[in-house]
Amino acid sequence: MSTSPAVPGPAAFLEQMMLIRAFEERSAASFAEGRSPGTCTCVGQEASAVGVVAALREDDLILTNHRSAGHLLARGADPGRLMAEIMGRSTGYCGGKSGTLHVSAKELGVILTSTIVGGELSLAPGVALSLSMKGSDAVVACFFGDGAACEGIFHEALNLAAVWKLPVLFVCENNEWQAFVHRRETMLTENIASRAAGYGIEGRTVDGNDAEAVFAAAAEAVERIRETKTPFLLETKTYRLRGHFEPDDQGYVDKDELATWRARDPIATLRSRLLSSGALTTGEAAAMDRRVAERLDAAFSFAAGSPWPSLDQLTTNVYA
Amino acid sequence: MRTITPYDAIGEALAEEMRRDATVLAFGEGIATKRHDLVAEFGAARVRNTPLAEGIIAGTAAGAAATGLRPVVDLLFAPFLTFSMEEIVNSAGKLRFLSGGQFSFPMVAMAMTGAGWGVGAQHNHNVEAWFVHSPGLKVVMPSTAADFKGLMKSSIRDDNPVLFFLDVALLHTPGEVPDGDHLVPLGKAAIRRPGSDVTLVSYAKTVHGCVAAAETLAAEGISAEVVDLRSLKPWDEEAVLASVRKTGRLVVVHEASRTCGVGAEIAATVAEEAFASLRTPIVRLAGPDAPAASSWVLEQAFVPQADAIAEAARGAVARTLSLATA
């Protein structure tokens, strides 16, 4: 059995989140310049990604969705290979076949990304079944949004995982938006986690913009899953600060709501807290900025300089 | 050789493959209830009942298949597959390709269909062509007890998602099954009756109609060759083309509705690849573009029967004669 992950310090969370944010913003800029396809960014949701992923062991598995860059980068994905995938280049994690929407990286334990909203929920119990039938105590973290929580498969997946006692950490990143529809139009309750009780499992809602709080809640949930062999529904309350899919000017978003959540930006909040408490010096913060910029410069030039897939790839990997 | 029903042949196939490979497991709507002998031998972890929730059954199979298990799932009736199209088509069929080959999906999804039980269109709908049209999937639909067993064993051993359609009219009719480790390869047709004047291509219950028609035709001096496709994807182009090149006439027969059915693909391929061998236009004999009714007479009228098959074959042969004398 692998050992539990070390508790990351807040500065480590900050730098990871900065990397994710900068990656997403550069990717959006690259799209605006016509150099890559549009993406579904996770801008605003970085704390949820880094907090949950930090609570996982190396042998735990991750299922993600169309808003996956945060989960992948938090798990240690190479930003160059990730951007190469988005750009459709042969050096990407999936050889350029997945593009931005379905990136899986088996070597990182990030498997079976589905971009069908709720698709990841449909796959998670089976992955957990494999783990438990092998006798492993590893867990599956399945990331989905409040939109997926309104799909029928949400019910089927949580119910089956509960009945079969499967080790799934269901992580609902409740970002208030379901493509172009506000969550308030599609559900009457404020929280998704309260639905856990209907399946006889535990659920919890946590501030999804506080990486340390997310980490603590996820670590506890993962321990509960390993102990009780029962799934757990963790809801991270966060906000999608950019639009659904580039380009999206968010003209439909309430200005006050956006302002409220911008003021709660998980990166700015943590950075200013660490700076004002003295846990981080301005020099160290500047060094982080520099490291992130350097990594992304290298990543984007690697991706842009990578070859396209050969055309015979059109029909390879269809069958095993 | 023993005489057993296809239903029992499937049970034998499951038991043998579960014995052979510890990663094989079976779950679905009532499979642990109906096949208690499997639970007794392999335990409740490997033979499981599920909620009546086809989406998560298929999704769980796909997730398990991608991570080292070989699930066989029972989704009961083919129209219920509409609830699991997402998981079968978008996940099992596409994620190998989209992931650049990082994952494979060795799973089998079983579902019953076809006329015979009077259950009506929400339990009887031959939807096999939907899956033939979806990349990354394989589709089989056997006609004999031996093939039910041999194709199921091969499907379980295949590293791809296989849709396994069970024709209800055949399921409880005993037939001969060879002893031992009986495997039938996917993608290989069987010649059920050799002939030289006309080729009848079919699968599932209408194969038996073709064989009966061929017997009638033989008495009239017309020699019909009956090709049982067995696998619909991949389908055995070589066997069909070889037969048509020999006979020069093709009648394609299936119960599924005509428009964009499997027969359309076979007819088009023969027209492309063996046009010069054809002595008459290809004939398709298929179910109507209508939902299946429950009433026995309407249900039977939906299915191309032996008389109609014989008549179509006679027509094809007569047409050659009239063309030749024109």
Q: How far is CA B67 from CA A106, A126, A166, in A?
A: 10, 8, 14
Whether the CB of B132 is below 8 Å from some CB of chain A: the reply is no
- B92, part of any domain: yes
Q: What is the SS3 assignment for B211? A: helix
Beta carbons within 8 Å of A130's beta carbon, 6+ residues apart = B63, B64, B67, B68, B69
pLDDT in tens, A53-96: 999 999 999 999 999 999 999 999 999 999 999 999 999 999 99
Contacts A317 to B, Cβ<8 Å: 96-97, 99-101
As a whole-number percent, the residues of chain A with pLDDT over 90 amount to: 90
Digit-coded pLDDT (tens) for B249-292: 999 999 999 999 999 999 999 999 999 999 999 999 999 999 99
Name the nearest CA neighbour of A97 among B134, B93, B92, B97: B97
Min distance B103 CA to chain A CA atoms (Å)? 8
Model pLDDT for residues A20-59, shown as the tens digit of each residue: 999 999 999 999 999 999 999 999 999 999 999 999 999 9
pLDDT at A115 (0 to 100): 87
* Same-domain status, B171 and B248: no
Contacts of A10 by beta carbon, 8 Å cutoff, 6+ apart: A211, A212, A270, A274, A279
Task: Write out pLDDT tens, residues B241-261.
Answer: 999 999 999 999 999 999 999
B55 contacts A94? CB cut-off 8 A: no
The 10s digit of each residue's pLDDT in A174-225 is 999 999 999 999 999 999 999 999 999 999 999 999 999 999 999 999 999 9
Confidence band, pLDDT 50/70/90 cuts, at residue B123: very high
The 10s digit of each residue's pLDDT in A244-294 is 988 888 999 999 999 999 999 999 999 999 999 999 999 999 999 999 999
Q: Are residues B53 and B119 in the same domain?
A: yes
Same domain, yes or no, for B197 and B315?
A: yes
- Which chain A residue has the Cα nearest residue B233? A319
Q: Which of B127, B151, B177 is the last residue of a domain?
A: B177
Residue B157 lies in a domain: yes
Rounded to whole angstroms, the Cα distance separating B80 from B122 reads 8
Region A142-167: what's the mean pLDDT?
97
Q: Are residues B173 and B280 in the same domain?
A: no
Boundary-marking domain end, from B138, B155, B177:
B177
Q: Is the pLDDT of residue A242 over 60?
A: yes
B205-250: per-residue pLDDT in tens? 999 999 999 999 999 999 999 999 999 999 999 999 999 999 999 9
Model confidence band, residue B8 (pLDDT cutoffs 50, 70, 90): very high
pLDDT at A7: 75
Tell me: do B22 and B100 sit in the same domain.
Answer: yes
Counting the structural domains of chain B, the total is: 2
CA separation for the pair A6, A35 (Å, rounded): 39
Q: How far apart are CA A156 and CA B84, in angstroms?
A: 12
In a domain, B182, yes or no: no
The verdict on B140 and B17 lying in the same domain is yes
Predicted pLDDT at B326: 54
Residue where a domain stops, chosen among B177, B204, B238 = B177
DSSP letters, A170-233, are: EEEEE-SEETTEEGGGT-SSS-SGGGGGGGTSEEEEEETT-HHHHHHHHHHHHHHHHHH---EE
Average pLDDT, chain A: 95
* Other Cβ atoms within 10 Å of B252 Cβ, number: 29
CATH number at residue B199: 3.40.50.920
Q: Cβ separation of B96 and A130 shorter than 8 Å?
A: no
Q: What are phi and psi of B76, to 5 degrees?
A: 60, -95
CA distance A313 to chain B (A): 9
pLDDT for B308: 98
Q: What is the mean pLDDT of chain B?
A: 96
Tokens (6 digits) for B66: 């991608």
The answer to whether the beta carbons of residues A94 and B98 sit under 8 Å apart is: yes
Question: Region B283-311: what's the mean pLDDT?
Answer: 97
Please choose, from the candidates A279, A206, A221, the residue with its C-alpha nearest in 3D space to the C-alpha of residue A15.
A279
pLDDT at A4 over 70: no
Residue B91 with chain A: CB contacts under 8 Å: 112, 114, 116, 119, 122-123
Domain ranges, residue B57: 2-177
- Same domain, yes or no, for B91 and B234? no
Q: Are both B165 and B202 inside the same structural domain?
A: no
Per-residue pLDDT at B320 exceeds 80: no
Q: Which of B97, B108, B157, B159 to mutate to test the interface with A (most CBs of A within 10 A)?
A: B97
Q: Which of A128, A164, A320 sits opposite B160 (nearest CB)?
A: A320
* Residue A129 contacts B, CB cutoff 8 Å: yes
What pLDDT does A299 receive? 97
Same domain, B49 and B195: no
SS3 A165: coil
Q: Quick one: B139 and B215 in the same domain?
A: no
Cβ(A210)–Cβ(A266) below 8 Å: yes
Confidence tier at B48 by pLDDT (50, 70, 90): very high
Q: Which 3 state secondary structure label does DSSP give A33?
A: coil
User: What is the CATH classification number for the domain harbouring B67?
Assistant: 3.40.50.970
**What's the distance, CA A292 to chain centroid?**
19
* Number of C-beta neighbours around residue A229 at 10 A: 15
Domain ranges for chain A = 10-303
Cβ atoms of residues A109 and A60 within 8 Å: yes
How does residue B322 score in pLDDT terms, banded at 50, 70 and 90? low
Can you give the pLDDT at residue A72? 97
Burial A110-125 (b: 16+ CB within 10 A, else e): bbbbbbbbbbbbbbbb
Name the DSSP letter for residue B30. Answer: S
Cβ pair A269, A238 in contact under 8 A: no
Tell me whether residue B185 is in a domain: no
- Just give the CATH number of A10-303: 3.40.50.970
Judgement on whether residues B146 and B292 belong to the same structural domain of the protein: no
Task: Assess whether pLDDT exceeds 70 at residue B124.
Answer: yes
| CA of B260 vs chain A CAs: smallest distance (Å) | 22
Q: Are A238 and A144 in contact (CB under 8 A)?
A: no
B133 domain residue, yes or no: yes
Same domain, B61 and B148: yes
| pLDDT > 70? residue B86 | yes
- How many alpha carbons lie under 13 Å from residue B65 in its C-beta half-sphere? 35
CB contact under 8 A, B71 and A126: yes
Q: Tell me the average pLDDT across A126-138.
A: 97
DSSP string, B102-166: S-----EEEEEESSSS---TTT----HHHHHTSTT-EEE---SHHHHHHHHHHHHHSSS-EEEEE
Please list, residue by residue across A178-189, b when 16 or more beta carbons sit within 10 angstroms of its beta carbon and e when fewer do: beeeebeeeeee
Mind telling me the catalytic residues of B? 54, 123
- Count of C-beta atoms within a 10 Å radius of residue A190: 12
Cβ-Cβ contacts under 8 Å for B303 (sequence gap 6 or more): B114, B115, B205, B206, B209, B255, B287
Is the ipTM reported for this complex over the cut 0.90?
yes
Q: What pLDDT score was predicted for residue A2?
A: 58
